[in-house]
Amino acid sequence: MKKLLCTAFALVAACTAAAPIGSVSARAEELASNCKAAYLCDFATGTKVYSKEEEKRLPIASMCKIMTLVLSFEAVESGNLSFGEKLTVSERAAGMGGSQVFLDAGLSYTAEELMKTVAVCSANDSCVALAERIAGSEEGFVAKMNARAKELGAENTLFANCTGLPKEPQYSCAKDVAIMLRALLTHQKYFEFSTIWLEDFAHPDGRTTTITNTNKLIRQYEGCDGGKTGFTNEAGFCLAATAKRGDTRLISVVIGGQDSKSRFSAVKGMFDMCFATYESRTILEAGVPLEGKTEIKGSRKKEIEIVAKENLQTFEKRGEEGECQLEIELQEGLGAPIAKGDKVGRAVLYRGGVEIAATDLLAAEDAPRLSWWDALRETARDWQ
């Protein structure tokens, strides 16, 4: 890789220095006192702000549907499923207890409709219908859930079903739930579902079922636009939620709350505390060309623009200014052909010599290979 070193303040305002976790721990400990475990982090960088028993293995009830949705969105992205595909509901899926949208066996619903009901009203019947379509059976889908959890780094997670209904052995932890929710939030379509508060769900036979969002913070907290609740007698009251203000998006998880009010209060309080204390700054914006162009060999197009694949952000304590360094790493000897969207390098953000964030750099335009005739003309021009 060819490396170009830039100070971040050359691109944006100076980054701020990291804050000690202890500066907010006392308040967070009070907020999470009625929960068995808690975790609070930044979405963009994954920076932990507060944790309580974050790796303790506990039942998480319907929060396991976060992974059900992750695999459903990934199935669409991979081409294994489409939002418009109609799925016929099996007897087993229709017979699921607990929270449901009352699907009828033999009727067909689109994948998008089923995913929406999982996100909004935690429908167990829709979970199983999706699982059976994606993996052939719920058991096969659970194997995929466990494999994906390991890939994401959720080391203290084991799924036994796709709904979170009590079944042994099955567990996760606050940190892992945050990791899984962070993966789900990369799918922008999810927010079309997660922000629905109340809606009539139409069945193919003419019935309607009113679905209501189980995450009350959608209406009660400014910036909250997603998350997942959970409750069983074994798990207690659980909640994983996200909220965004400005460039800052946070994730907060509580497991084992004493009652429903305590889980929402704890998450709201942790959000308030973090938004007041920390902020995110965007160093590179996804899709916006970097300054200058990159030289390409073997193409009539001698230079191309490059863009960041994802936003590159810092997460820092407010008011404590410091300096970050942005390093642009381009592939050596970039040569044609290059297609728009091809990876051509990496942008890495450092603080104190430590990598804190990174994203791929992509070609913003095509650079086709020189034709035989083009090469001949260039040779002749150089000779002259």
Is residue 122 flagged as an active site residue? yes
Neighbours of 274 (CB within 10 A): 24
> What is the total residue count of the chain?
384
Q: Where are the alpha helices (DSSP H) in 204-340?
A: 217-220, 260-277
According to DSSP, residue 15 is labeled P
Tokens of 196: 């629905």
Is residue 65 flagged as an active site residue? yes
The one catalytic residue among 36, 52, 62, 299? 62
Show the beta-strand stretches assigned E in the chain.
Answer: 2-7, 37-42, 48-52, 86-88, 108-110, 198-202, 208-212, 224-232, 236-245, 248-257, 278-284, 294-295, 303-304, 306-308, 312-317, 325-330, 343-351, 354-363
The one catalytic residue among 72, 90, 99, 122? 122
Query: What are the backbone angles phi and psi of residue 237, rounded to the nearest 5°?
Result: -90, 120
Q: Is 52 helix (H, G, I), strand (E, B) or coil?
A: strand
One DSSP character per residue, 57-120 reads: -B--GGGGHHHHHHHHHHHHHHTS--TT-EEEPPHHHHT--SS---PPTT-EEEHHHHHHHHHH
The one catalytic residue among 65, 116, 175, 317? 65
Q: Which residues are catalytic?
A: 62, 65, 122
